[in-house]
Structures are given as C-alpha cells and as structure tokens.
Structure 1
Amino acid sequence: MTLSSSIASTTAPTSEAENSPTSNELSSTLVYDIRNSRYLNITGRCTLRCQFCPKHNGSKQVHEYQLDLNHQPKAEEIIPLLGDVERFDEYVFCGYGEPTLNLDTLLTIAKEIKNRGGYVRVNTDGLGNLFHRRNILPELAICVDALSISLNADTEQAYMEHCRPKLKHAYQSVCEFIRLAPDYIKSVQVSAIDGLEGVDIEACRKFVETSGAEFKHRMLGVVG
C-alpha cells in the first residue's frame, strides 16, 4: 500500500454527498487522493493479519488519513465520488482491507471507471481465488489494468509468521495467483518487504520475475 498527499471523502461536494446513503456513513473516508491517483477504500476486511500492518498495531491512519470504515461500502456510494477521470493517472483500490473481499463492488466501480476512459489498479494480497473458491482473474481482466500483489515471503514458514493468514493453504494460493496473473492482467507488480526476519528478498525477486511479473522491493516501516 502506498499512501500520501490530499484527500476527498464522502463529505466532498454537496451534490456528490447527497447521493450517499446516510449521515452515519458520511464519516467514513471512501475516496482519497495521492499525488495524481485517486484511491478507493472499499473494505476493512482482510484475509491476512500481518504483524507489520499498522492496523494490527493500534492505528488505521496513514499520514493525515483515517481509513477506518464503519460499514462495507457499495458501488453506488463510491461512483458519485469518482470525479473527472482525466484528472487522475489511475484509480487504485486500496485501504486497510483486501479489496477482492468486496468483489461485486470492486467490479461494478472498475467497469464504470473503464467506461469513462480511466485506468484501474488493484492492490491485493493475492488470496482472492482462495477466498472465493474460483479463479477471479478472468473477471478482473475485464475491467482492471494493473495488479499490485503483496508476497512478502519466500517460504511458507516466513509467510505464516509475518502475514498470519486466516485461510489454509494461503501461501500456495498467493504463489499460484502470482503465476496466473500475468496471463490475464497486462501489468502485474509483486512486492516483498526488506527487513522481515527470515525473508530472502532476492529469492522473492527470482520467483516473481520467473513468474513473468515485475518485482517491487519495499522497506519495512516505509509507507507512502
């Protein structure tokens, strides 16, 4: 997840806010801007409990952004907040949850963005196939231009220790997702964090590049 810069939420322009369902839901930050990208915060649920994730260490805030959600957003809440697609280099599904867990909302919004001529990226832990018990990549391929996948470990042991998955066979599943993704999505970037004990970054890089994806070398504690 990469975060910094200015923000737009459901309390944005009045004409947009009128389309949001209730005053309770207005307190959630659903849309926020980072440099020339608009980020879409569509779920607080996740398939991992990463020990290095700020939300498991007492904070759901990044810089000035509070990304805690008080409900699971629907597409009709987000679409009025998309704004002018010509203003943004990309729209990114990313928050403190796994966006593929709110798949119908993701797909509906992404299709709307593509219909307007925008570019769509999804930040994911790569466990969508495992969670949904089917290959969701063909569905994503219709409306998603790029995937950013978190790997974070070169062995199952290290993955279990640092990422603490909620689902069985998670490490095998994310590895398979990484192998499959380039067959469906044009741009696939896979990251691993340097600084996690027992993780061989170069082994991660080799696996990612052999799978036909681009490797992103991240540093522990650096967000943004």
Structure 2
Amino acid sequence: MGFDHVWEVEHHFPEEYSHSSAPEVFLAAASQRTSRIRLGHGIVLLPGAHNHTARVVERINTLDLLSDGRVDFGTGESSSNAELDGFGIDRDTKRDQWLDHIEAATRMMVEEPFAGWDGPWLQMPPRNVVPKPFQRPHPPLWVACTQRETIPLAASKGIGALSFGFVEPGEAEEWVGEYYDIIRSDAWYRPGSRSMPTLPALCRSCATRTRTRPSTGASTVPTSSDTPWGTSTDSATTSPE
C-alpha cells in the first residue's frame, strides 16, 4: 500500500478514542504479517507506574528480534488526567520521571549485563536484561512532542521528535527550525548510543492539491531546498489527529 511506518499509541482508560492499551500485542501481530514496514511505538508511557522500564526494554527488544530489526521506540510521559490519576502519577514530576527512565532504558539495551541504576525515580540492581535488540546498539528513539519545550530537549539528546498537528503552520516551522539548529550544533551528540535526529511531518508532493485543501485539513509549512526536512518541491505539514 506504500506505507513505510505504522505507529501504535498507548492509552489507558479512554472513553471515546484511542482504545489501544496493549500496543506491543498489536505490533507483534503486525510483525508476523509484514516484511518491510517499520513498526513504531508511538508512544510507550515510561513513568514507572505505567510500565516498569526493564519490562519495556524486554518487550521492545523481543519485538525487534521478531521483526528483523524494524522497531522504532517512541516514549513519553502522558498528559491525560485519566491515565495520570489512574496510575497515581504526579503531573509535576512526570517529565523528571521520563528522563530517568529513558536514560536507564537506553543503558539496559546496550550493557551486557546491565550495570544497575540508582536514579531519583528508578532504582534497580545489576541484572542481565535480555534479549538484546536486533538493531545495534538499540532501536531508534523517539519522544512525543506536544509541548514546545520538549523540542530542544529531544534535539539535545539526539532523539527523534514525534510532533502533532496542534500548532499553526508558522509555529510548526519554528519548532522544526529550533530542532535542527540544535542538531547542526555539537550539543546533541551522545557517545555510545544511537541518535535519531529527525522531526517528521506529513508531506504532500502535489502543490496544487495542498493549496486547495480545506482549512480543516492539514496545515502546510513551505520548505526550501536548504532545509534538512524538505526540498524545494515539498511541503512539510502537520496533520490533525
């Protein structure tokens, strides 16, 4: 059908949308029915009350092996009161929790054996976290970026930014520019881990169709040939959910 990626979300307790509470099950099934398409977790909720980091890593690595290295590992914090309150997660500390857990998860994928972790939100003794992933040192990392301040954070860590259609075209272009300004610098390089310097957006190759699309559709951000996210004949866009 021409698709290169499929992304499956993780949400808990929704009433009217996104009934996807076990994306690892769906993606495992998809891995056995496909041979080329990449399988993206968009995203795994990483504060520990949602998912223990070691279990997340075990599932991601197993899926990567089953799919012959087609996994993209997206993570995030959750912003839903239903989820945060349901799992007893403090909204004021969820960003710090995510940072602690994603650092530990990356180490678990790489270290043989895992040397252990003593962070503010995760403590774990040395253990052999297996299996190791098909992709080395680990699958590409992504983070959900629904807030502007997450963009420089993602770029500084060399993590791909999963953006959403919640912003106007001009603001979206600023987000993209800020991300790649950091990527072009030396501030983002992380030795020993795999970086994913990408901020994707929906692209339409037909300029006429893009110009005539109703205002309720995707918002267009024109790009030029000297930008890393498009060409002179492309339009980078953000799409509403």
The two structures share one fold, judged by TM-score above 0.5? no
- Greater relative contact order (CA < 8 Å, ≥ 6 in sequence): 1
TM range (shorter): 0.3 to 0.5
> TM-score normalized by structure 1?
0.45
> TM-score normalized by structure 2?
0.43
